Structure 1
Amino acid sequence: MDNLQSHKKEMVGIAVAVAAIGVGTAYYLYLSKNTKSKRCLDPETFKEFKLVERTELSHNVAKFRFALPTPDSVLGLPIGQHMSCRGKDAKGEDVMKAYTPTTLDSDVGYFELVIKMYPQGRMSHHFREMREGDYLSVKGPKGRFKYQPGKVRAFGMIAGGTGITPMFQVARAILENSSDKTKVHLIYANVTYDDILLKEELDSFAHKFPDQFSIYYVLNEPPKEWSGGVGFVSAKMIQDHCPEPASDIQMLRCGPPPMNKAMAAHLESLGYTSQMQFQF
């Protein structure tokens, strides 16, 4: 009798899990289907989008909001993918760079980019000079990352500097879908405290979804009062703050080339196979 009841409970649990995955996938497909006709991006042709709001976040970081053609238009960028932005450098020459918006296709009528403008950056010059009313040339989507709810049990994310944007987009898509139970463990590295992008939003995720989202900040030059990681992201930090190697987890990484190379070596040493890793 006990065995029969145990079997029934197990079958109910499996049914609930399957239903949850089904609902999550249905939500994803529904969103894709209902936005298909209104998508604005073109993978072959650059399109112009008007800057309607520029918000300075720090001395070298700003948030740029661009209007889409209609109030119910969506950008049409799959979760975790990026787009090419074209502009002019300080010499007036054409320059292109890939960026990931912080918005999703659930944000209709506009999209936003959080941009860090480096002194010698060619595309940084274009954004530094942009004013409300100017237009940005955009083409896409691009990228190999394809996400669907329930794709993995958990993500381990390692981001450096502006590499936070694709991680932020993926995390936000997961957390805003109540049917998606994927866990997110994020390590985010920067040089100084002021370099941390989207900190308010990331901290809000951790506060609202404590059982699903965790973040560990690492600073190379931390302030005196600092409880996070210090120096560079180490194998020990990954071991302590990310899911263990398993067939149903995936490690995502995005940062400067030297960091990506170092993280790949750390992950390999910890037993994460190439199938468990993805680099944006």
Structure 2
Amino acid sequence: MDGLQRGASVDEETEPEEPKVGDCCGEGCNPCVYDIYRESLKRFKAKRPHGISADSLGLDKIEFKPFRLTIITPQTKDTSIYRFESSERISIKIGQHLELLVPCQSENGVKEVVRKYSPIAWTDTSFDVIIKRYANGEASKYFDKAEPEDVMSWRGPYGNFSYRKDDQEQLVILCAGTGIAPVIPIIRTIVENSEDETTIKLLCGSHTLEDRLLMDTLNELKAFWNFVFTHYVTSNDGEAGWGEKVIRGRIQETDILNVISASNKKSKVLICGSDSFCDDMKETVRKTGADFHCF
């Protein structure tokens, strides 16, 4: 009920507060706290059409808007980076996500589903998302047929993640698979700020060496003094490249405890991955007493 209260606005003279991380359970509730938030925002905008300014012209938190797919860049056999462009200016902040409206075939014709993706990079008129295609996934079938010049419908951005360089001395990031997407812009923001001395330690899980995502970006970022990363790979396929730090197996509780406890620095932890991965990571991080944020 707390999430519903935060997602809705009692006083329509005040702009409704966006749901906080964790308010949405991810179980497909109808209505979802985000549905309630959007309805409250719609009523607020209708009542005060000139009272607020849009976050961005090409993106809207209520209505889906068209974006043109311009580039598809394969990453692995089933994962690619998709670039979308708008004719209008857009505004996205680190840690935010967007929603895509996906038309899917069903027994009764076409149904529409909504999928969430975190941009890994963006400009004033475009953004990149990394998408994994699953064998029987509804959205995956849609992207299997996607080609440059296709027009897709997006809305957002959502998410109230905030970062201040003085909040922690060390940032520990625990992610798996495409869970790396929301943290890449955060890492880049920190390391490219010469006044930010926060150290970053990334522990990233994947099934195989070939499944590792955004390796070019990670290798680019590791040139900065305050960023290091370790991959945890559950298979025994192939050999890691020169200078790569790869541990065979899953991210263990002892690994997390050592990274956080071995340093005298005040730590904050970011977590992103599957529901089961996040649950496991949160349980361990709680034992350390460190502040954490789960995407």
Give the aligned partner of residue 276 of structure 2: 258
Select which of 163, 181, 196 maps to 2:212. Answer: 196
CA deviation digits over 1:196-217, x for unaligned, max 9?
11011112211x21x2101010
Letter in 2 for 1:219: V
Runs ≥4 residues deviating over 6 A: none
Answering whether residue 232 of structure 2 is matched by residue 218 of structure 1, we say: yes
Aligned equivalents of 1:242, 1:124: Cα separation in 2: 37
Which SS does the other structure have where 1:158 is aligned? strand
Q: Give the TM-score normalised by structure 1.
A: 0.77
The Cα shift of 1:222 comes to 3.1
**Unmatched 5+ stretches in structure 1:** 1-35
The Cα shift of 1:272 comes to 2.4
Aligned equivalents of 2:226, 2:57: Cα separation in 1: 30
The 5-angstrom pairing of residues 30-179 of structure 1 reads: 39-70=57-88, 73=89, 75-91=90-106, 92-104=110-122, 107-179=123-195
**In the alignment, is the contact (CA less than 8 A) between 1:153 and 1:249 conserved in 2?**
yes
Letter in 1 for 2:187: A
Aligned equivalents of 2:189, 2:143: Cα separation in 1: 26
Answering whether residue 286 of structure 2 is matched by residue 272 of structure 1, we say: no
**In the alignment, is the contact (CA less than 8 A) between 1:245 and 1:272 conserved in 2?**
no
Q: Give the TM-score normalised by structure 2.
A: 0.73
Aligned equivalents of 2:138, 2:205: Cα separation in 1: 24
Larger displacement relative to structure 2 (117-126 or 221-230): 221-230
Corresponding pairs, count: 235
Bigger RCO of structures 1 and 2 (CA < 8 A, at least 6 apart): 1
**In the alignment, is the contact (CA less than 8 A) between 2:71 and 2:82 conserved in 1?**
yes
The Cα shift of 1:45 comes to 1.3
**Unmatched 5+ stretches in structure 2:** 1-53
The Cα shift of 1:85 comes to 1.1
User: What do you get for the CA RMSD once the two structures are aligned?
Assistant: 2.2
